[in-house]
Structure 1
């Protein structure tokens, strides 16, 4: 297969196991799930899918010399995302952890066509479930990994934080040192680290994105409580779930869904908060490879270390969020109700 990717260009994929997995029903489902969930559906954030990102993570570790096993792990790493992606974490009040897809991963994989495909190629699906065994793919925050870097690089041009040449330069700066991804130049590491924080500020933990996620979660909880949607609806596409919410014949659901628009804004409101939300805050601290040594950017640049620390501190705690420019007020939710 000649696969053409927005970030990595044309890549020839010849390994039968990778080709079969990409064509699997489980992977094809991911084409209907946007990385950003509801905000992508509304046109606020980039429209690329979990399929695009998963293949991208595979191509990035491949570019860095990963084994076929690590490429498979990369391809499958997001296989258990629901419709609307991380909105489901807001349904279950895990806004800061955002780990629902990880908790469901084994269950989803074992009931899919993935095990049979891997078995045909002499592999056991279980060997790909522990992502800690694949250090180019996954690392604990704030280290660099293919998962974190791929979605960042897919977002930054849309967010007007970087142009194509800067994205290409970032890709060229990635090296493998001491078994994990590092950056080969100090200036490139600074650009990456500061721009990553700006992406988090502009999108991933922005007031508007967090607010729209919470509103959508409230609509899902109410619709489920009223019997209008069930857990199976989470495993379809964004479009199908959104259609169900929009067509729900129930005043509480309609009241919330009407607020989920590109024009809706949110304010910090202690007195008139519709909800209180704490969210996941993202940053990186790139290892810099210089000759035979590897050191974290924060150790090489105290100014960056202080900037990152202050940024993370500024986002902590429960945010009292009021809804403005919306036609009605939010109905209070009662936590995740799916079992």
Structure 2
């Protein structure tokens, strides 16, 4: 499963990758994302037991394939492919570093800038007769992206591999079965949106999505991300890295660099934090701050969905037609872990 999850998964999303995508995928602006994990640094700590590494490039390709599968629109597909080019190493950890754990969008403004200033990308777009403004903001395409709790290609794509990697929530067979029940529907505002053709499959998807989202709401995930955010801040302050190296070095290269620095300077605060991140296996859930421990008290982005489902006579949100789905969504929205997650330094 580890070696070829992305390849098999991508073939489920779209049986044949359109030929025009390959030249864009080869661009340095995208190839860089091969070394950036989807799961925000949790691949590098034993607190998590991720089943496989899934990169931001894998996610970008997957999102583009979903858009192509349902729209056959070149501009929308390229826009989806480019939607994460501004993602730094360790992904949303930089949002935590920037004090933006709640919306996790602090690096998004850079995205259009990177797209608009990439000469090779602009050359390819010109060859294809596409204006850069048509691909620089995927938010304008509702199949590619929409507001929570709608289902978009981006949201659909990342939650399948996230669930599979974090806690074996999905198998490839289950993903294929789920995906085959999805189509483009019209939502309450008459805007196209991905939705389900059958209530039972929609319920299964909603349950598994929320199951995965619960992992991201727990203090384990909050600690892993905030601790790595503090490590990055300390690494910059200690001149171990320059801020722009989060956009030029892979996570593997950064971990190797941090390991070397921590071994050479074991008494540094940076080294204590990094040692703890690389060795932590459990945390403490507490309603009060534990003295002498590393503790976090954070509200983070709630990732959830309330998908459209086609009924006999209309199209509704699953919560409107299924009591179990409604309860699951409401329980998730009201869930709070203990006030603090705390960790003993190593």
Indicate which of 233, 255, 266 corresponds to 2:283. 266
CA distance in 1, matches of 2:116, 2:172: 39
Partner secondary structure for residue 143 of structure 1: coil
Mapped to 1, the partners of 2:246 and 2:230 lie a distance apart of 14
Instruction: Check whether the contact 1:5–1:56 (CA below 8 A) recurs between aligned residues.
Output: no
| Pairwise CA distance, 1:310 | 2.4
Cα distance in 2 for partners of 1:291, 1:176 equals 16
Whether 1:227 aligns to 2:242 is no
Shift of 1:262: 5.6
Q: Does 1:285 align with 2:290?
A: no
1:60 to 2:66 alignment: yes
| RMSD over equivalenced CA pairs, Å | 2.1
Counterpart of 2:129 in structure 1 is 122
Shift in alpha-carbon separation, 1:197–1:94, aligned structure 2, 3 A: same
Deviation at 1:180, TM superposition (A): 1.3
- Structure 2 equivalent of residue 320 of structure 1: 340
Task: State the match for 2:8 in structure 1.
Answer: 6
| 2:297 match: secondary structure | strand
Mapped pair 1:40 → 2:43: yes
SS at the partner of 1:280? coil
- Quick one: structure 1 residues 319 and 229, their matched pair in 2 at CA, closer, same or farther if it must change by over 3 Å? farther
Question: Conserved in 1, the CA contact under 8 Å of 2:220 and 2:341?
Answer: no
Seen in structure 2, the aligned counterparts of structure 1 residues 14 and 282 have a Cα distance that, compared at 3 Å, is closer
Per-residue Cα deviation, 1:43-90 (whole angstroms, up to 9, x for no partner): 733411111111111111222134111111111111110001111111
After TM superposition, where is structure 1 displaced by more than 4 Å over at least 4 residues in a row? none
In 1: Cα distance, 2:279 partner to 2:203 partner? 33
- Deviation string 1:269-310 (CA, Å, 9 cap, x unpaired) is 313162322211211101001355210011112342233122
| Residue aligned with 1:242, SS | helix
* Unmatched 5+ stretches in structure 1: 328-339
In 2, the alpha carbon distance for the partners of 1:254 and 1:175 equals: 50
Post-superposition offset of 1:111: 3.4
Partners in 1 of 2:32 and 2:319 — Cα distance?
40
Tell whether 2:142 aligns with 1:135.
yes
Tell me which of 81, 86, 89 is aligned to 2:92.
86
Q: In the alignment, does 2:228 pair up with 1:209?
A: no
- 2: CA distance between counterparts of 1:59 and 1:292? 30
Q: For 1:10-21, list aligned pairs within 5 A.
A: 11-16=15-20, 18-21=21-24
Distance 1:67 1:114, change over 3 A: same
Q: Does the 8 A contact of 2:194 with 2:308 survive in 1?
A: yes
What residue ranges of structure 2 are gaps of 5+ in the alignment?
1-5, 187-191
Distance in 1, Cα, partners of 2:323 & 2:18: 46
